[in-house]
Structure 1
Amino acid sequence: MTDKAMGRAAEIARLNDHLRRTFEGGRVVITAGIAALDPLHVSLIMAGVRTFDAFTADNDPYSEHDCATLTVRGVRVMWKIDYYDPTMTYLSSDAADPSSTVRVLTIMLADEY
């Protein structure tokens, strides 16, 4: 990976981490499967997503911190971040540019993917 590509990936990861840790800087969506769980379980899942830091070359090959899975109270959960243009109509042309990107963090049961 070139220095430019590494810098771009690092900026995307920084923006993704900010959204995931704070739920600010984008939108956060939970699926029907998550919403159907008891409130304590949902809270534990949200905390697990916010504090996730087990990124490896296997689960984060592009170093963008954009997707992962975790298990919370025996339930396999997946979260992923997608990038849309400001109108939310098309994909973003540059995920490293927050002025042209709306980040959407989706938290779901792994079997909903």
Structure 2
Amino acid sequence: MTPGVADFDALIMMKIQAAIILFNDFTEDIDPYGQHDFGAFSVDVNGEDTKIWFKIDLYNPSYNAGSEKPDDTTQTRRVMTIMLPSEY
């Protein structure tokens, strides 16, 4: 997670985690290739809707480059980044 997300308290972090686990709003706008590797949603932070993004990237086992065979789980490591849009 990015520093802006890490600054939230434990209750907000639980809301964010739950929203990611339950996320299923993969529209063509945010998922044009059907890869389900990006999501955007809002959580209530002190009475304000705060936009959160998550992104999943596919790396090789050394984490130093993209995976050459993304559908091979023995050669691919998935990394999720949780961020505020302003941190992109």
Same fold (TM over 0.5): yes
Residue number among 80, 92, 106 corresponding to 2:55 in the alignment: 80
- SS of 2:74's partner is helix
Gaps (5+ residues) in structure 2? none
Distance (whole Å) between structure 2 residues aligned to residue 109 and residue 47 of structure 1? 16
Q: Alpha-carbon deviations, 1:39-84, whole Å to 9, x = none? A: 1011101110111001112211110100011111111100000011
Helix, strand or coil at the partner of 2:70: coil
Structure 1: runs of 5 or more not aligned: 1-29
Q: Distance in 2 between matches of 1:61 and 1:94?
A: 20
| Structure 1 match to 2:36 | 65
More helix by share: 1
4+ residue segments displaced more than 4 Å: none
Give the corresponding residue for 1:4.
none
Q: Which structure features the higher share of strand residues?
A: 2
TM-score by length of 1: 0.71
Secondary structure of the structure 2 residue equivalent to 1:100: coil
Equivalent residues in 2 for 1:4-19, closer than 5 Å = none
In the alignment, the residues of structure 1 paired with residue 33 and residue 85 of structure 2 have an alpha-carbon distance, to the nearest angstrom, of 21
Bigger RCO of structures 1 and 2 (CA < 8 A, at least 6 apart): 1
CA offsets 1:80-113 (integer angstroms, 9 cap, x no match): 0001100111110021111110100111112111
Q: Equivalent residue of 1:45, what SS?
A: helix
The within-5 A match list for 1:27-106 is 30-73=1-44, 74-106=49-81
Alignment root-mean-square deviation, CA: 0.8
1: distance between equivalents of 2:2 and 2:29? Answer: 25
